[in-house]
Structure 1
């Protein structure tokens, strides 16, 4: 199946999306990632989303830390327990197995990668490479170009890896052909923004007029602008994206504030 073949239509002009990323779950609900119970933190995020009238959740990758099937099943269980009723979509992270993501994609969890309203396209991209660093294949870049050429709408895109350096440790695992992806998006015209995870903190950058946003993790955060790997338990976070026609507003919500 072509990456963008499965679609989802939002019937409303005004929609609210939540970008939730980097949960790093274990098969054991008590599993800890740098002394943080990641299942508990993700559960808190899901429960808070029920207060925001969210129309869809974009999960930004790195669902698992131990790479177990049970960790994916735990994600589904936490979602069911939360009472959140909107559809949940995903992009793969470097820790993820696409087949295991597809295995839980039924009912509320959807494998759709081309979401749209009457005014806007939302594309969920594949930046998963063969190493922790990211890579968009030539075939995938052609698929992105084809979707952009077929549409006269504005577009917002999501992927897992960061395409631009953040002056930090995670730059060793950057999207290695990030500029090529960004040029593909900008050359397609009408792309408003790209959102990503992976870097476990909040960043904003620009590339040829394209806004690029990083969303913090639901697990631990990584200290910004340091050359070594420093973890910070500042609590879970997620990004709110409010869309009205062809315009958008975004902000990061920190649960501990």
Structure 2
């Protein structure tokens, strides 16, 4: 009887250890398998914000290096949604320095301000989704408040334009702007350490947006841009649009 009881206790102990190991298991993130990472305030919130490349790499490093701290039942402050290239989804719940994925077993990333800083930095500046090409040009035109072109303020915005940001219905209006040399603010990425002091031209922005639609590519300004009119490009775009509308 004692032998049987000892055997049962050993078996239960082994099962408990295996279950605990499974419960506390952390799956590292392979950066090459990640398509996008988003942050949002709740699991049902549709207003999510995509992390840029630097934030994505930093989050992956924080998760992969996080330390197990045991079971914690907390109300998530943020949700991190990771979409992999194969279409699979991983969901993380965070509060201060703690983060968990599949259950309540939590890990510490060692930084109570890291996740909150991502949320604040992404909400501090305008995003392309808040504009369309026409309202963007109107906005950079309105910020011109001086006849001295060296004092024109920049349009500070995250450079994360969706591929389909420019749509067919925008092109006719953009075509009419191509020759406009009205002064506009330059584009400035908040990640840039350099602040341009020049000015951009309205028609140059219009050309960039039309070309992005024509080439089926996302608008890309980089760290900063003060585009000027390119007459050859304008002629190319006008001829392309005339051919397109005649088809």
- Give the TM-score taking structure 2 as reference length: 0.26
The higher radius of gyration belongs to 2
- Give the TM-score taking structure 1 as reference length: 0.25
Q: Which has the higher helix share?
A: 2
Q: Which has the higher contact order (CA 8 A, sep 6+)?
A: 1
